Amino acid sequence: MTDEALLDRVLEPYKEHCKYLRSGVVTVNDAGQAAARCEFVIPESCYIDDTGHLNSVEVNICYNQMMYYLVAKSVKEGLQTGFASWTLDDFWKHQLPDILIARFSSNFRRPVNPRAFSGEMEFRSVTRRAPAGARPFLHAETAFRYRDAESGRCDGEATLAFVNVP
pLDDT per position as a tens digit, 41-91:
999 988 888 888 999 999 999 999 999 999 999 999 999 778 888 999 999
Residue 1: pLDDT above 80?
A: yes
CATH number, domain with residue 130: 3.10.129.30
pLDDT at 61: 97
User: Alpha-carbon distance 55 to 60, whole Å?
Assistant: 9
> Which one has a higher pLDDT value, 48 or 153?
153
User: Alpha-carbon distance 85 to 101, whole Å?
Assistant: 21
User: Alpha-carbon distance 147 to 17, whole Å?
Assistant: 22
Strand partners, 37: 25, 120
Which residue, among 96, 103, 91, 102, has the nearest Cα to 165 in the 3D structure? 91
Render pLDDT for 85-136 as a digit per residue (tens, 0 to 9): 899 999 999 999 999 999 999 999 999 999 999 999 999 999 999 888 888 8
pLDDT at 67: 98
Range of the domain at 15: 4-162
Residue 156: pLDDT above 80?
A: yes
Residue 140: pLDDT above 80?
A: yes
User: Alpha-carbon distance 106 to 127, whole Å?
Assistant: 23
pLDDT at 84: 86
